Structure 1
Amino acid sequence: MKIYFKSMGKTQYTQKFRNEWLTDALFKDWLVKIELDRNLFDVVVAKRYDLLQHTKTKKHIEAANGFATSRSMINYTKPPSLKTSDAEGTLALFIAVHCSILTCDHLGVLCKSKFNDCEAAKNIKLHRTKFTNIITNILSPHFETSLRTSISNQPYSILVDESTDISVTRYLGITIMYFNKELGQIISTYLALVEMEACNAEAITIRLDLQKLIGIGTDNASVMVGINNGVYTKLKEDIQTLIHVPCICYSLQLAVSAAASETLARNIEYMIRETYNWFFHSSHEPLNIVKACDTRWLSIETAVGRILNQWLELKTLFGIAKLKEKCYAAEILHNMFVDDSNLAYLKFLHPVQKVNKSFESNTADPSKLLNDLINLVNSIAR
């Protein structure tokens, strides 16, 4: 409540506002000091006697009741200190990078109970709702702005891959590559997670300069390179000079899968699959047999490696099982392990898998990768 008193009659002395009145029990709930421009308003003469008389009026009593309640609530709620806010933001950042969101409820209570001698820790109140708001409204805008500032007007490229979450919603995970002038090196970092329905140039580049996009790296799936609705096709409509770099590993997968379906004997996949199934429920597994992926032939190489390392032992095992248990499946597998041509079929994937692994490395030498790929093609052609 703002109270202004004008002097009546002869002024005896100039009365100034006293800050002590703000803490006085009679005035603190309704009296507010307001700085005014003296050139625009008359000078107000406020005396303690006048304030006391005003508190007794009916109009003041009715108006001050609600105001006193709200003022007491404001004083009761103590704003968090900067140290506490900084600690909560740091914990939220740590959890977002390393842990599940569910851990924030326990971590906040743990810090508060074990570091109660620390002013920042003892006032921490961090739960999932607050944690989510910190990430969404504070950390995310900060890092997005920082990333755009770091990229500035430089050219950049993006790496895109499709992902499906538990709700079967299709997303595009996007990584950006650009030259960081402060660090003096090329940086690859997370850019965005975009729903496929909103997959357009603006959504993918989060308001970066679209004409600075020079390249896009994807696998060869139809959703990425499809002629009609592929991600690359949509971006190409806005950026005519856009360069597409397909994933070498995915191309190798497709090449080996096509070659395997046309040249390998049909019983090879059966042998790998049933060898895994034989040991799946076993309680004695000195060296686990790896399950082969049904859609990617290069993933079979890991399972093949385990089988090759134990070829003689497996052949002996299935031979014993055939005789002792009279098991027909063991007899079929034993006959396959006896056939040396199956051993030759399994060994051909080793050099291909070696090259594929080198392309998946984060510290690989590009010139060496090219030589490895050329040597692989030449060795197969011979």
Structure 2
Amino acid sequence: MMSSSEDGSDFSNSAERKSIKKRKCGKSTEMKVSKTLIKYSQKYLKEWETEEPFKDWLTKRENDEFAFCFVCEVKLSYKEGKIALKKHAQTAKHISRLAVAKEKPSSVTSFFSTTPADITLCQTEAKLVTFLVENDIALSVVDDLVSLVKSLPHKNVIEKVRLGKQKATNLVRQGLAPYFKDKLADTLKERPFSIIIDETTDIGTTKQLAVCCIFSNEKLEMEVDLLDLIECSDGTAATVFA
């Protein structure tokens, strides 16, 4: 028979073991809950679109929670990083379609491409053409217009431009006109020229005398420039030579 002291010791040891086991279980549960709370959710990274093997087909549409393959026209999850994207890139269907797209790009597909950069480009071109059509401007000026747009400064500067009808008128009359008139006068001082005059009437029925000059430029090409517009009381020869 065991003594009471031995019974108490066994009971104490048993209780201590249960307490330790309980604490371990509690710690394990706590760690598991903690890991669940800090679970990482992958975000779509724009730089993926420039990496192999994604650069020729990967994009992400605005307000969409999925990546998009515009070659296969399917949505792809990126919540686990590149795993699903790489799996899609290795499928036979994707490899076949991508090869066809690279070998025989469709002009229609290229024009209506779903990549963000191409969409922005198409919208910009459409806005320029629409501006020309709405204002009855000849489409032949589009080359010069594109060159002008490309020469403009950074977008931050363009956003600060405040140019209305009145300001534009003053800019032409008080700034550009005197400058180009003086520049033309300096050119005529260095080379032979002829004067051409003609009477005209503007929309307000005001009589004007157009003074033009014809001369040979540095490339030995003939040029005709407007030198001045002079208001007249009438268009008779007597008034012109008065």
**TM bucket normalised to smaller:** 0.3 to 0.5
Flag the structure with larger Rg.
Answer: 2
Structure with the higher helix share, 1 or 2? 1
| TM-score, normalising length: structure 1 | 0.22
